[in-house]
Structure 1
């Protein structure tokens, strides 16, 4: 039979392989076309990933505007439904949250990241969230403020040294040391004193964790060949340096061991102690989470502690740095903040938790910075069952992304979106605007659990600084600020400023 073919059988096999390869490369790219959802044209194998070269935020802004807020893109062969319509955002993150509880897990990140709170699913996530939420109540935050104030004073002491020497300094470095000290002190009861030691191992290791961008070879593998990430993980190769995770694992072990049977430690109300109190030994023995409805395992305590320590470092220091940058470039705005800080201190006699709650214009400046530079440029959910919202059919298993950065720069919602205008967050403007147009810490039950701590922490640093100094640009100030090509808003090359003592 084969002898009847007009060409060798080898060529038939090659042709068949070529057809199968072609189908493998292009088959997923009809996913959105079949249901009438528009989007940019994908490239075989890469999808739209190469378009991230212009930055994810810029790519999202262009697509959001061109395709009327709802569109489909591809990361490699993975379809991603992008949803920027605010009514859909509300329904996905709040009203239909039970259908959109989880996030996508990328293989190859390592167990600590892949099984952290942000990646936990369904009941396991709810269990953990309920265990740690009490750490961020108003009562607990007031108690943490006493510790935070100490580190804010150290932050100001560093500024004082720069002022005396008339020296330029990198606000990102200084803010990073401050946030590391705060997270160590408030969440773990440890004094690492990074502000007095720029080469502190906590800082050097945390920096390594965030020294990555979307075109890192390993990152490309995770997005384009996710199964290969699992293979590399089997051989101990992960996206994030293992020495960083090992360092913070050891640090958490030390703190837990120090708290052995000490009665005073048992009375603590910080993040770690709440997890220790929630410890359930049944989970350590491998009993199913479905059978044990309460508590967390010892392994989970360590995992979440490492992630919280690392997560508390980067995001907040970015916001402090970007807000300081905005105030330095807009002296008239800084004048208003200084006037507010002075008035509240004169009224109360000190700068404490209650005083910070009476500074609405400072809050407006922070919120406007978060609008321009949201902690995450996208919010992700995975649809767990077929869902219909406003005529949009979302099949089970669909990865849904909300382009927060694009929404925050929508000219119809935020006129002149690239300009720093704190007045956008006045009481009147906030009441007139859709609340889902501002998503700096996410939305709904899966928003950032530590956002209140972060807001208090950065207000303390800024208010304490402006009580004594004026922030000004210097020769090394880069305008506009440069952001690394990541899904978050990490600053490229730091934020260089100077301070002048107030007269």
Structure 2
């Protein structure tokens, strides 16, 4: 199963852990779901979710009270993935933390009973969304291609023999997409916010770029996403410093030579993405935060596997463009509205679990950049 932890295998045999012919077939069927024509309309969803996210932070900006940003961001990314992938709007950010706690991918317990309870809830939730969407498609027909969501593609995909995905496969892929598109993106965004506070000079460079780009508007457009070179470099450097997925694994299907050592087929290889991103031979001053690393003309001279926040090779993250677009919308609009600072004396120790977390949370202080009335601009 590609060396993934046992509790991840409860997701089902989706793209994350399937292999062989099944993985090849399903990857081929699902790839059209991430074409730019499909991704483009999602920008409206990113903005809508960000509107709610920023409003939820307003209290902290007014009071000056510190906020652990990770749980808030994770609610927003879960909200986004449910809207974009399944056309499901459950007002998750308004429901608050209890909803977040029962989400199966946020907090796995070491106790099997609790794990089973959370997974059962997830499976029931997924099955309900899938059945509801099947009824809608049966009644209203398939929407125009540019308005297809991920679940629509799962439900209608057919291979060269005209065979679609089984109900079990659909649920496995749906839950895999929720897992990979929720917590991992939340980690990337949260650590990017940490870097905004940790490196105020870099934050101001990002703010200047976004202010000049958006001028008197609040929402980010599809075109804007291609016009944020410094923000993009900032986010990439954040993901280099704090890889959202600190490590992964692969099962060798053929022998691999590593220096003078030949590792036989059938061996599981652990890959420390966090260590690769901090290799001093590839990344001089690897502990220094330098977004300009990703602005240099010689960036193509680096080994293609020296920077792999979305993994690499044929099994790289199918949704990486989706994720990067979402990250850029949330970070750009956050910087436009709030100035971010860290909390003096707080311990921001990393906790590299399945995803990169902070042992004691990522607490920040927010300060309004503009007057309240200026946020009424349409």
Instruction: Extract unaligned runs of 5+ from structure 1.
Output: 1-101, 219-236, 281-290
The answer on 1:273 being equivalent to 2:152 is yes
Cα gap change, 1:333/1:386 in structure 2, threshold over 3 Å: closer, same or farther? Answer: closer
- Give the one of 86, 101, 113 matched to 1:204: 101
- Note the alpha carbon deviations across 1:18-44, whole angstroms, 9 max, x for none: xxxxxxxxxxxxxxxxxxxxxxxxxxx
1:138 aligned to 36, 43, 56, which one?
36
1:435-450 correspondence to structure 2 within 5 Å: 435-450=304-319
Taking a change above 3 Å as real, the CA distance of residues 189 and 429 of structure 1, as seen in their structure-2 partners, is same
Cα distance change, pair 485–361 in 1 and its aligned pair in 2 (3 A):
closer
Alignment-derived partner of residue 500 in structure 1: 367
Deviation at 1:474, TM superposition (A): 2.5
Partner of 1:24: none
CA distance in 2, matches of 1:292, 1:488: 38
**CA–CA distance in 2 between the matches of 1:489 and 1:156?**
23
What is the Cα deviation at residue 272 of structure 1? 0.8
Residues 439, 196 of structure 1: CA spacing in aligned structure 2 closer, same or farther, 3 A cutoff?
same
Q: Cα offset for 1:144?
A: 1.1
Q: CA deviation at 1:126?
A: 1.0
Shift of residue 306, structure 1, vs aligned partner: 1.9
Question: Which structure 2 residues correspond to residues 173-212 of structure 1 after superposition, within 5 A?
Answer: 173-201=71-99, 203-206=100-103, 209-211=105-107
Q: Give the whole-Å Cα distance in 1 for the aligned partners of 2:352 and 2:296.
A: 34
> SS at the partner of 1:400?
strand
CA distance in 2, matches of 1:112, 1:320: 26
Decide whether aligned partners of structure 1 residues 453 and 169 sit closer, same or farther in structure 2, where only a CA change above 3 A counts: same
- Correspondence list, 1:68-467, <5 A: 103-104=2-3, 108-109=6-7, 112-113=10-11, 115-201=13-99, 203-206=100-103, 209-211=105-107, 237=112, 241-259=115-133, 260=135, 261-263=138-140, 267=144, 268-278=147-157, 294-346=163-215, 351-387=220-256, 392-467=261-336
Contact 2:155 2:164 in 1 (8 A): no
Given that 2:192 and 2:238 are in contact with CA atoms closer than 8 Å, whether structure 1 keeps it comes out as: yes
393 and 292 in structure 1: CA distance in 2 versus 1, 3 angstrom threshold: farther
Secondary structure of residue in 2 paired with 1:115? coil
Alpha-carbon distance in structure 2 between the residues aligned to 1:434 and 1:111: 31
The answer on whether the counterparts of 1:388 and 1:394 sit within 8 Å (CA) in structure 2 is yes
CA contact (8 A) 1:113 1:307 kept: yes
Following TM superposition, by how much is the alpha carbon of 1:333 offset from its aligned partner in structure 2, in angstroms?
0.4
Distance across 1 between alignment mates of 2:271 and 2:8? 25
* Alignment correspondent of 1:40: none
Q: 1:476 to 1:178 in 2, by over 3 A?
A: farther
Decide whether the 8 Å contact of 1:473 with 1:496 is kept in 2: yes
Q: Could you say if the C-alpha distance between residues 387 and 419 of structure 1 is closer, same or farther in structure 2, counting changes exceeding 3 Å?
A: closer
| Structure 2 match to 1:73 | none
Contact 1:321 1:495 in 2 (8 A): yes
Equivalents in 2 of 1:168, 1:246: separation in Å?
35
Change (3 A) 1:485 1:425: closer
Taking a change above 3 Å as real, the CA distance of residues 392 and 368 of structure 1, as seen in their structure-2 partners, is same
**Distance verdict in 2 for CA 1:501–1:349, change over 3 Å:** closer
If you compute each CA radius of gyration, which structure gives the higher value, 1 or 2?
A: 1
| 1: CA distance, partners of 2:262 / 2:3 | 19
Say whether the 8 Å CA contact 2:213–2:224 is kept in structure 1: yes
TM-score (structure 1 length as normaliser) = 0.67
| 8 Å contact from structure 1 (residues 279, 297) kept in 2 | no
How far is the alpha carbon of 1:490 from its aligned partner?
A: 2.3
Alpha-carbon offset, residue 110 of structure 1? 7.5
Question: What is the SS of the residue equivalent to 2:357?
Answer: coil
- Separation in structure 2 between the aligned mates of residue 195 and residue 131 of structure 1, nearest angstrom: 32
Structure 2 contact 207–336 (Cα < 8 Å) conserved: yes
State the distance in 2 between where 1:362 and 1:105 align: 32
- Matched-pair contact (CA < 8 Å) for 1:468–1:501: yes
| Aligned position for 1:23 | none
Cα distance, 1:269 vs. partner? Answer: 1.0
Distance in 2 between residues matched to 1:343 and 1:303, nearest whole Å: 43
Aligned partners of 1:190, 1:265: CA distance in 2, in Å?
A: 16
